[in-house]
């Protein structure tokens, strides 16, 4: 009887501890940014990622192959916008981030002849619904 009571208390305590956190595991976005005309990666470029609804903001740099990864993205449906000086803005809608999952994406960007290329920070914005 005491053993069953102790087991029940431990199970209830474990459940309460699990419920104490929000229980939501964030996901991530992994992708590549390439030049749509040359098909070459946009390498070593600094970007910013923002989800306005959840105050999520991150900065990252693409590697030599144009690859990037954004960690801890809240689950839900998002809109990703890449906007970098020297390139036209690129928008992807219907990006659904699942708990604990990695969403893979490729952005093909076009050079913008009206802007000078600036290697400094320009934003990637992720809007949530």
Residue 7 in domain: no
Q: Which of 72-76, 93-97, 115-119 has the lowest mean pLDDT?
A: 115-119
Q: Measure the CA–CA gap between 97 and 68, rounded to whole angstroms.
A: 16
CA 104 to chain centroid, in Å, comes to 10
Backbone angles phi, psi at 37, to 5 degrees: -85, -45
CATH of the domain at 58: 2.60.40.1120
Into how many domains does the chain fold?
1
Residue 64 in domain: yes
101: containing domain:
25-128
The model carries a pTM of: 0.65
Q: 7: which 2 tokens?
A: 């087991």
Q: 77: which 2 tokens?
A: 């449906």
Alpha-carbon Rg for the chain in angstroms:
21
Dump pLDDT digits (tens) for 28-85.
999 999 999 999 999 887 666 655 555 666 777 789 999 999 888 888 888 787 777 7
User: Beta-carbon neighbour count of residue 115 at 10 Å?
Assistant: 12
């Amino acid at each position: 009887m005491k053993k069953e009571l102790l087991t029940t208390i431990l199970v209830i305590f474990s459940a309460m501890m699990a419920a104490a956190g929000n229980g939501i595991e964030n996901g991530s976005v992994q992708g590549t940014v390439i030049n749509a005309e040359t098909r070459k990666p946009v390498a070593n470029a600094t970007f910013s990622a923002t989800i306005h609804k959840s105050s999520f903001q991150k900065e990252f740099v693409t590697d030599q192959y144009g690859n990037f990864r954004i960690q801890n993205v809240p689950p839900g449906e998002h809109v990703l916008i890449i906007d970098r000086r020297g390139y036209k803005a690129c928008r992807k809608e219907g990006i659904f981030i699942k708990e604990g999952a990695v969403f893979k994406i490729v952005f093909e960007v076009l050079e913008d002849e009206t802007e000078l290329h600036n290697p400094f920070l320009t934003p990637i914005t992720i809007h949530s619904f």
